[in-house]
Structure 1
Amino acid sequence: MYQNYIFSGFGFVTGKCEVTNPDIEKAIQDGFFDGLDAERIQQSDKFIEAKLKTPDLTPFEFMAGHLMGFKKRFHVVPFPPRKESYTVAETSLDLLVKAIQKAFDDSGVHPDDIGAWMVGTATPHEMAPGIAETVKCFFTKVDNRTQTMTTASACVGFNINIERALNFLNQHPEFMHVVVAHTEVMSELLLKERDFVPFTTFGDGAAAVIISKIHSEKKEGILHVVNYEDMAMIDFLGADREGNLIMDPRRVKNRAVPNIARVVTELMDQAQWDLESTDLFIPHQTGHAIVHEAAAKLGFPMEKVFQEVQLNFGNLSGASVPASTAYLKETHRWKPGTKIITSVTGLGGELGGFSYMIPEFTKFETKNDDLKGKTALVTGCTGGLGGEISRQLAEKGCRVLLHYNSNHEKAQSVLKTLQHQELNHQLIKANFGVDSEVENLIQTVKTLVPELSFLIHTVAITGSLSKGSEVSDLEMRQVDKVNFANTAKLTEGLSGILTGTVLFTGSIAQDAQFSGSSAYVSSKRALFGFASGFARLQYPKIRCVFYIPGVIDGGMTDVLNQEQINASMQAVGQEKLIPLKDIASRMVKSLYIPKVAQVRSHYEGVLVVRKDGYTKY
């Protein structure tokens, strides 16, 4: 039996904004970029020959598509990029989280089973801590102590981390899996760039793999990996202190071609493969100039040279090779027995590659028991949000106590949808408008459970949504009692048995007050004040989160008119309605995961404040 190291899962994402060759050509015509000598191109024999076959071929398309080998790329901001656009755009961290999540979904491996997290980037979202340290916080519980390693490298960062991952797994027999990923927002390096070439070349994206240790009867998976540095390239490819790209294309090409060839030759010798037996060559997706010359130097036929990521997504720096493997998997071309050679070269003269034989492997068995042994009380379970949160808690193995106000039939229907009925999920009735019923609720919960892991507040009433001048004192008191006073009473009453997290649900109306929301907003702001003080008094025994959802599809939209919905979304920069299941998932993760994707987070003292769907505030 052989101990093998395989890619058990793949993830690949790009920026949201597609940038086509015609987009760049128009930007050149509009004076954004320089460097295209259209007259000279039109006089070249190759262009004249190509134009005979494609009469509408332009000089730019000939240069970008035919000679350079790029058709489109994706950026995190609309094109042409502007500095202010990046303040609300996805970062290299955002892309990374998405790519790693895809890799987990593909592999079946659980984040708790990862022994180390290794990430490379030359465009981090912040200077410190390292991006590997931060991204781990989106997947594991706060007590997870596994290693993280951030590599400040661009084109070769992924390959460097492949070697580190193998060394780690060899040295740590107790672990079976490592995350290796790379992420870049290359477009942000080009803000001061005037030459069209980098814009044609680079895209924004992230890719990740799960490397897993398995045993099988033949040698497969990662066979060999090498990494070197060519110091003659140290000054010709990089970024300055301000983050502006430094690139001398001619000198880079002159060193890159022989470096790629040297690495491939060494790897094929180690694997005892030749050109005929090697099925696929995946080079760093740098463009035709380097790739085609390197392939010719090696003697590889072009049908064995993979460039689809380059053509359709651009040069993704160190994410290029893992993106290529993920793309092959996504397009159902990741076939067992296929022999692959990769080679990369880039920033600072780094170079390397690995050989890989695709194994017979499908997927590990997925487990979903993050909250096994935990108990949660969800208030307002008959509401859309409370019901969905209850379902997702139960799916993760949590026992759920479901509070409801009066609609027993609806509460019973929610209870029946919960998985793991053997956990003895229970319904508890209490009217939050009546003090004595809330006091009884406290005693009932204390009788049912000696410890309460999570308390999730979703119970709320909006009131009449009348104009402030038309809201009666009685209505103000009723809304305040339900949304604030008795929610606070329940929280304080259960504080002695709480061991984990209290999650308070706020409202977008706190930041985007709309007509008719005065009573509702007043109560939610009072609740925020209570949550802040309670968090300070209970820290560190109890963790407190104040979660403010944007406008939910199926939440407040059921009681608001379209004018109120539009005004709220515009005030916070929300682009679209948030699906109920998505926001419930992020709220559940907030109970036990330090960071949550697609959410703006900050601290008010020790209170975690999360705003979902916002691009402002």
Structure 2
Amino acid sequence: MKLTFKGKRISGLLTVVPRHEQSFVEDMKQFNFPEARSRKLMEVMGYDKHRLVADGVCVSDLAVAGLQHLFDKGALGRDDFDALILVTQTPDHPMPPTSNVIQGRLQLKDDLFCLDINQGCAGFVVGLMQAFLLLEQPAIRKVVLVNADVVSRKTSPKDRNSYPLIGDAASITVVERGDSAGAIHANIKMDGTRREALMIPAGGMRLPHSEQTAVLEDVGDNNLRAQDHLRMDGSAVFNFVQVEVPPMVTSLLEQAGIDADAVDWFLFHQPNRFMLQKLADKIGIPHDKVPMNVVEKYGNSSGVTIPMAIVENLKNELVARSFQVCLAGFGVGLTWGSMLMRLGELQFCEMLEY
């Protein structure tokens, strides 16, 4: 599906990361696996450190801390926005919606459209699409998009395939109308027939949590996890990304009528460095236009890796000037989407530790 938006812009961006930092060397102590092979994995995939929330910390905690920080410094008024979108796979509760939890904890106005979206790796792109659509309504002047996940709480520390790359984080993006903003081009695709490539099998109504679903099992190669934990078919995900994402990005550029050389930055979801290098090669774009340093510093925080890449690499430049950027998210669902837009001259672009 191809989409076009006009007169919309991102005006501010904040990321929130837990203070607790854990190294891959620490993770290795929990694996029943030769240290030499683990270090080889670390080198190839770009693992080093990741940020993990403390026990009991939820998505609303990260979001409330970030929004309160913006209120306190005067970067965002409590009544300035008319919609609050939360994109997450790890809500505080099955019900009520966590966006309502955030609204209630901050005592925001009741004339506020609150919406939860259950999306993962493509969640930032999907959330921006929804924010732009809401801004078509005259009553909505500004939208706050929160993208947050605490997937580490649903990942087995003894699963070498998943745990070392997982990170927790949140992003808060302010989206508003911009008369001088150029056209924003986007596309999105989904394929639920491949949904089991990335899944947490238990905990929902299909397979409720129980003592049995919490039992750790050897799932091969001495990796231990329960049905309550994240399950990832690494080969299936890698093949999906290499096959589906390059034509998606190429189609987006054709839709906008520009060449890849005209794009300053390709800001992609970051599963790991190896996958991004192969993806850049497949598309035919130089590695220095594709930031790949988020996973090694903070971990894979699902869709939040895109705003993390923006803040980590461009926070100083984006306050002063703008760039032509291509965003792309791909993963859980399976879902893959991309967006081409002008990004910059932001009112704020920073990172907050929680």
TM range (shorter): 0.7 to 0.9
> 2:261 is aligned with what amino acid?
E
2:200 to 224, 239, 249: 239
CA gap of 1:361–1:76, structure 2 versus 1, over 3 A, is closer
* Distance in structure 1 (CA, Å) of the matches to 2:193 and 2:171: 29
2:276 to 286, 291, 301: 291
CA gap of 1:103–1:59, structure 2 versus 1, over 3 A, is farther
Question: Do the aligned partners of 1:181 and 1:207 also contact (CA within 8 Å) in 2?
Answer: yes
* Distance in structure 2 (CA, Å) of the matches to 1:95 and 1:224: 30
CA gap of 1:334–1:361, structure 2 versus 1, over 3 A, is closer
Partner of 1:98: 65
Partner of 1:119: 86
* Distance in structure 2 (CA, Å) of the matches to 1:310 and 1:292: 13
Correspondence 1:544-555 to 2 at 5 A: none
TM-score normalised by the chain length of structure 1:
0.49
* Distance in structure 2 (CA, Å) of the matches to 1:307 and 1:339: 18
2:331 to 346, 351, 369: 346
Correspondence 1:214-613 to 2 at 5 A: 214-216=178-180, 219=182, 223-242=184-203, 243-332=228-317, 336-362=321-347
Partner of 1:68: 45
* Distance in structure 2 (CA, Å) of the matches to 1:95 and 1:151: 17
Identity over aligned residues, as a percent?
Answer: 22
Partner of 1:173: 138
Higher relative contact order (CA 8 A, sep 6+): 2
* Distance in structure 2 (CA, Å) of the matches to 1:301 and 1:106: 38
Partner of 2:119: 153
How many residue pairs were aligned? 321
Question: Do the aligned partners of 1:224 and 1:356 also contact (CA within 8 Å) in 2?
Answer: yes
What SS does the corresponding residue of 2:250 show, helix, strand or coil? helix
CA offset digits 1:313-370 (Å, max 9, x no partner): 110002111222233454445552311111111112011121121244547xxxxxxx
1:238 CA drift (Å): 1.3
Q: Which has the larger radius of gyration?
A: 1
CA gap of 1:3–1:282, structure 2 versus 1, over 3 A, is closer
1:3 CA drift (Å): 5.5
Question: Do the aligned partners of 1:10 and 1:106 also contact (CA within 8 Å) in 2?
Answer: no
* Distance in structure 1 (CA, Å) of the matches to 2:74 and 2:305: 20
Partner of 1:184: 149
1:159 CA drift (Å): 1.7
CA offset digits 1:484-505 (Å, max 9, x no partner): xxxxxxxxxxxxxxxxxxxxxx
1:137 CA drift (Å): 2.1
Partner of 2:177: 213
Partner of 2:166: 202
CA offset digits 1:39-82 (Å, max 9, x no partner): xxxxxxxxxxxxxxxxxxx5433311x211122101113xxxxx
* Distance in structure 2 (CA, Å) of the matches to 1:69 and 1:106: 35
Partner of 1:162: 128
CA gap of 1:298–1:160, structure 2 versus 1, over 3 A, is same
Partner of 2:218: none
What SS does the corresponding residue of 1:285 show, helix, strand or coil? coil
Question: Do the aligned partners of 1:154 and 1:318 also contact (CA within 8 Å) in 2?
Answer: yes
CA gap of 1:333–1:109, structure 2 versus 1, over 3 A, is closer
RMSD: 2.4
1:311 CA drift (Å): 2.1
Question: Do the aligned partners of 2:75 and 2:347 also contact (CA within 8 Å) in 1?
Answer: no
CA gap of 1:346–1:100, structure 2 versus 1, over 3 A, is farther
CA offset digits 1:533-557 (Å, max 9, x no partner): xxxxxxxxxxxxxxxxxxxxxxxxx
* Distance in structure 1 (CA, Å) of the matches to 2:152 and 2:81: 31
TM-score normalised by the chain length of structure 2:
0.83
> 2:289 is aligned with what amino acid?
K
1:125 CA drift (Å): 1.8
1:224 CA drift (Å): 1.7
* Distance in structure 2 (CA, Å) of the matches to 1:106 and 1:343: 31
1:107 CA drift (Å): 8.0
* Distance in structure 2 (CA, Å) of the matches to 1:240 and 1:353: 27
Gaps of 5+ in 2: 204-227, 349-353
What SS does the corresponding residue of 2:162 show, helix, strand or coil? helix
* Distance in structure 1 (CA, Å) of the matches to 2:100 and 2:334: 26
> If each structure's helix is expressed as a fraction of its own residues, which one has the higher value?
1
CA gap of 1:185–1:360, structure 2 versus 1, over 3 A, is closer
* Distance in structure 2 (CA, Å) of the matches to 1:73 and 1:321: 16
